[in-house]
């Protein structure tokens, strides 16, 4: 195909994206229950959510205001729009990612040993460390006991949106989800091509309609932390103040602690939870019966 027949690369990219999303039905994209629409195809917010980018970022791509998207973003768009080999090659040609000389490296997040030891020494306070995409990187024993009802304790957002335990564990699960999504949006805005965030948002968008709806919103700020109201399956209702601290030596990581008011029923509940999950101490051998 003669390149001279195409409009300029930026305008051509926007027209290309619009034409391909308009020809793909919601059902074919894995979005059942969309119902009848006045116009065929996917909406911008649906393509953005399924691709793991923000609505504003995808809109800029279609409007020609975002230059040189990364190869990872283009791969995600090609997957969502179900492009064949020729269309995919055309997408990459129009975007001209080869002109970009920098790319976002994959982050390998590890917890410093002294920080892991710090939270493990806290036996009365649940504590954990999360990464930039809210992956759980380290937890102490009381945090493990607190979240024992969740099948897989690997990522805050996956626990909130994909694990049925969240509905009974949080007395206000909607509030917790809003805050987690807003927090992730802020991180994604500063690193829109981060591979881990693209992967996470893509998975959640496919598996959770509620996440897709919340991700399509534009959060101007992250709601403040507040007291978490929890209903634990063993020790009952707990009210725990949620505090988050940025780890300055490892940007993107946060130390999270959950505190109960001293002398409160919640403090008693945490103490009980800790005692129930304390490791058994083997009995000391009587020296008189030793070898």
38-50 mean pLDDT: 86
Q: Is 66 helix (H, G, I), strand (E, B) or coil?
A: coil
E strand or H helix at 138: strand 136-139
Q: What is the phi/psi pair of residue 132, to 5°?
A: -65, -25
Residues in the chain: 291
3-state SS of 22-34? HCCCCCCCCCCCC
pLDDT tens digit sequence for 249-290: 998 999 999 999 999 999 999 999 999 887 665 556 555 555
The mean of the pLDDT values for the chain is 84
Topology of domain 9-99, CATH = 434 Repressor (Amino-terminal Domain) (1.10.260)
Q: For the chain, where do the domains classified as CATH 1.10.260.40 start and end?
A: 9-99
Burial of 76 (0-12, 13-18, 19+ CB in 10 A): buried
- The model scores a pTM over 0.75: no
CB-CB contact of 8 with 14 (8 Å): no
Residue 280 φ/ψ, nearest 5 degrees:
-70, 135
- pLDDT band with cut points at 50, 70 and 90 for residue 202: confident
* Integer Cα distance of 47 and 233 in angstroms: 39
CATH class name, domain 113-276: alpha beta
Mean pLDDT within 153-174: 94
pLDDT, position 6: 39
Residue extent(s) of CATH 3.30.450.180 domains in the chain:
113-276
3-state class of 105 per DSSP?
A: coil
pLDDT for the residue 107: 64
């Amino acid at each position: 195909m003669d390149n001279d027949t195409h409009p300029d690369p930026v305008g051509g990219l926007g027209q290309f994206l619009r034409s391909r999303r308009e020809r793909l039905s919601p059902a074919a994209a894995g979005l059942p229950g969309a119902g009848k629409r006045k116009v065929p195809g996917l909406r911008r917010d649906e393509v953005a959510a399924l691709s793991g980018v923000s609505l504003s970022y995808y809109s800029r791509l279609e409007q020609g205001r975002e230059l040189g998207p990364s190869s990872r973003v283009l791969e995600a768009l090609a997957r969502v729009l179900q492009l064949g080999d020729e269309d995919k090659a055309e997408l990459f040609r129009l975007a001209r990612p080869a002109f970009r000389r920098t790319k976002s490296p994959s982050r390998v997040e590890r917890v410093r040993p002294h920080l892991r030891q710090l939270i493990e020494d806290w036996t009365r306070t649940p504590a954990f460390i999360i990464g930039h995409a809210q992956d759980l990187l380290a937890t102490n024993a009381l945090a493990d006991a607190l979240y024992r009802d969740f099948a897989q304790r690997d990522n805050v957002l996956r626990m909130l949106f994909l694990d049925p335990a969240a509905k009974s564990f949080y007395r206000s699960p909607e509030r917790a989800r809003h805050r987690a999504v807003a927090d992730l949006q802020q991180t994604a805005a500063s690193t829109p091509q981060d591979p881990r965030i693209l992967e996470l948002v893509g998975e959640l968008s496919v598996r959770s309609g509620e996440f897709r709806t919340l991700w399509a919103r534009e959060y101007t700020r992250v709601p403040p932390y507040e007291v978490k109201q929890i209903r634990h399956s063993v020790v009952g209702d707990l009210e725990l103040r949620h505090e988050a601290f940025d780890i300055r030596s490892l940007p993107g990581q946060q130390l999270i602690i959950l505190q109960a008011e001293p002398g409160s029923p919640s403090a008693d509940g945490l103490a009980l939870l800790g005692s129930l999950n304390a490791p058994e101490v083997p009995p000391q051998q009587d020296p008189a019966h030793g070898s």
